[in-house]
C-alpha cells in the first residue's frame, strides 16, 4: 500500500533512508577515527569502567564482554554493562567514551532519573503496541474502518512518544558519562575530551534519526485518514 503512494515515497521513505544512511556513515567514520586514537591513560573500556567505579560515587556492577560491533549496552534487568570486544579490549578514546556513556545509564538508574522513570512507565505497553498498531492500521484500511485505523495510530503514537523520550535519556547519559570521566581525571587533554564528545554526539544522532523516522511515519498515517475523509 505505502510503497505505491508517492506521498509516502517523497515525504517518508526517501528522507528517512537518506537520513539513516548519512547518520550511520558519520557514526562509523567518527568511531573509526577515535578508535585509532589511544587515550592518554592507556585504559581499555573494561579498565575505564573499573576506574569510574573506583573514583566516583557510582555503585559497582558487573562489566561483561558481548559479541558484535557497537553492541554496547546497559541491561537494567540484569544490572550489568555489556561492552563489545572492540570497546572492552581497546585503549582508545572511542572505547573510553562509549564505556562512560553506558555508565551514564547506570548512574541514571541508580539516581532514579525522571527521564528513566517516565520511559519505564511506557515499557509494558511497548511489548505489544507495535503488533497491535500495524494490524489495526492494515485491517482498518482493508475493511474501511476508520475507528480501527485511529486505534492503530494511537498505539503507534505510544512508540513515537517512547522514541522521543529516548532522546533526552541518551543525551543525559552522555552528559553524565563525560562528567564521570572528568571526576575520575581520565580526560587529560582537550583533544581527548573533544574526541569523546564527537563519538557521543555521533551516537546520539542515531536516536534522532529513529525519532524523525517515527514521527514522519505517524504523520503519514494521520494524513492517510484525513485524505480518506
Active-site positions read: 102
Q: What are phi and psi of 225, to 5 degrees?
A: -65, -40
Give how far the C-alpha of residue 108 lies from the chain's centroid of Cα atoms, to the nearest Å: 15
Spatial distance between the Cα atoms of 8 and 176, rounded to a whole number of angstroms:
39
Cα–Cα distance, 71 to 173 (Å, whole number) = 16
CA dihedral sign of residues 184, 32, 76, 112: positive
Grid cell in block for residue 138: 492494515
Strands 80-84 and 73-75, how do they pair? antiparallel
Residue 38 DSSP code: B
Which ranges of the chain would DSSP assign to H, the alpha helix?
6-8, 14-35, 45-55, 85-89, 93-110, 114-126, 129-142, 146-183, 190-228
Amino acid at each position: 500500500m505505502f510503497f505505491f503512494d508517492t506521498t509516502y515515497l517523497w515525504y517518508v521513505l526517501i528522507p528517512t533512508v537518506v537520513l539513516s544512511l548519512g547518520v550511520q556513515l558519520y557514526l562509523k567514520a567518527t568511531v573509526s577515527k577515535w578508535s585509532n586514537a589511544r587515550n592518554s591513560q592507556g585504559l581499555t573500556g573494561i579498565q575505564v569502567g573499573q576506574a569510574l567505579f573506583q573514583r566516583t560515587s557510582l555503585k559497582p556492577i558487573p562489566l561483561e564482554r558481548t559479541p558484535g560491533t557497537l553492541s554496547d549496552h546497559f541491561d537494567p534487568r540484569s544490572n550489568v554493562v555489556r561492552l563489545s570486544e572492540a570497546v572492552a579490549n581497546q585503549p582508545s578514546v572511542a572505547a573510553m567514551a562509549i564505556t562512560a556513556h553506558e555508565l551514564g545509564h547506570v548512574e541514571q538508574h541508580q539516581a532514579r532519573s525522571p527521564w528513566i522513570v517516565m520511559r519505564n512507565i511506557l515499557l509494558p505497553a511497548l511489548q505489544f503496541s507495535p503488533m497491535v498498531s500495524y494490524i489495526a492500521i492494515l485491517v482498518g484500511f482493508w475493511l474501511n474502518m476508520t475507528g480501527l485505523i485511529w486505534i492503530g495510530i494511537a498505539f503507534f503514537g505510544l512508540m513515537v512518544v517512547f522514541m522521543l523520550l529516548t532522546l533526552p535519556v541518551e543525551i543525559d547519559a552522555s552528559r553524565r558519562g563525560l562528567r564521570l570521566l572528568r571526576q575520575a581525571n581520565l580526560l587529560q587533554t582537550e583533544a581527548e575530551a573533544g574526541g569523546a564528545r564527537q563519538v557521543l554526539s555521533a551516537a546520539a544522532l542515531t536516536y534522532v534519526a529513529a525519532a524523525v523516522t517515527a514521527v514522519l511515519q505517524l504523520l503519514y498515517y494521520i494524513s492517510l485518514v484525513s485524505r480518506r475523509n
